[in-house]
């Protein structure tokens, strides 16, 4: 059964919209753990429009499960933040400045030497590294050559095509996962996974270790309640 890491960016967005500390981001993270989440994910961006840099320090001090920090390692402030906090995992995402949300994986062929350097930097501090990639076999192979511990499959394509044809939508992800397994890479996944498409994905991706889910889970929680929603997502991951 793959682990569920809850991305709490949307909680921070809500808090920031009014100022103050309501909802309390740290309390929500601890409640997510208490309700069954096996990890907490944050994705700080330079404008701090949701997760603030101080949030990362506050969360690191209290989180008992896996702490995963996502972001663009080309931003020195992000690199410094990760090294200062030493989370269980850093996920390297090729965001551009002002980007609303992540929308593509790394070109691991073009940036292989750079990624190798960053992987070594984080691993030297005992931080597991995951590289955000599209479900393209060549990109998975090049990611492995960087020395990364894991890849995170970018699942927007799967989610967008799931309702039309689940079998075709997941096909490139199965192929990418098989290559990753052969190369000894751990497999994470994330982006637009939800209660409708998660179970099929988890059941068909060999070696899936972790999914990171934020927007859909928090949106569902508005109707279903946070504790109930986390339990519902966990059930989708059961074999």
Active site residue 161: no
Name the residue among 199, 194, 229 with its Cα closest to residue 215.
Answer: 194
Which residues is 212 bridged to in the sheet? 5, 190
Phi, psi at 150, each rounded to 5°: -140, 165
* Residue of 66, 111, 191, 210 marked active site: 191
As a whole number of Å, the CA-based R_g of the chain is 17
Dist. CA 97–CA 182, nearest whole Å: 35
* Residue of 66, 70, 152, 210 marked active site: 70
Active site residue 145: no
Dist. CA 168–CA 226, nearest whole Å: 32
Dist. CA 127–CA 149, nearest whole Å: 10
Quote the strand ranges of 66-217, DSSP E: 66-71, 89-92, 128-133, 150-154, 186-190, 208-213
* Residue of 33, 43, 152, 210 marked active site: 43
Active site residue 163: no
Name the residue among 61, 111, 106, 105 with its Cα closest to residue 87.
Answer: 61
Dist. CA 111–CA 99, nearest whole Å: 20
**Cβ(126)–Cβ(86) under 8 Å?**
yes
SS3 of residue 210 by DSSP = strand
Active-site amino acid positions = 43, 70, 191
């Amino acid at each position: 059964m793959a682990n569920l890491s809850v991305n709490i960016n949307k909680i921070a967005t809500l808090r920031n919209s009014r100022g103050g500390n309501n909802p309390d981001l740290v309390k929500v993270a601890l409640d997510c753990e208490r309700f069954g989440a096996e990890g907490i994910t944050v994705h700080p961006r330079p404008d701090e429009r949701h997760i603030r840099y101080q949030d990362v320090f506050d969360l690191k001090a209290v989180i008992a499960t896996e702490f995963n920090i996502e972001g663009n390692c080309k931003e020195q402030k992000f690199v410094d933040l990760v090294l200062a906090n030493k989370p269980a995992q850093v996920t390297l995402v090729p965001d551009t400045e002002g980007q609303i949300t992540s929308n593509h994986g790394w070109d691991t062929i073009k940036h292989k030497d750079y990624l190798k350097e960053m992987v070594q930097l984080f691993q030297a501090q005992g931080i597991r590294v995951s590289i955000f990639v599209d479900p393209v076999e060549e990109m998975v192979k090049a990611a492995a050559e960087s020395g990364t511990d894991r890849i995170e499959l970018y699942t927007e394509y799967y989610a967008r095509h799931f309702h039309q044809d689940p079998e075709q939508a997941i096909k490139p992800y199965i192929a990418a996962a098989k290559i990753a397994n052969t190369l000894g890479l751990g497999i994470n996944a994330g982006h637009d996974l939800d209660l409708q498409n998660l179970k099929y994905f988890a059941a068909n991706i060999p070696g899936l270790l972790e999914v990171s889910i934020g927007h859909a889970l928090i949106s569902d929680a508005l109707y279903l309640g946070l504790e109930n929603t986390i339990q519902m997502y966990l059930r989708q991951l059961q074999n």
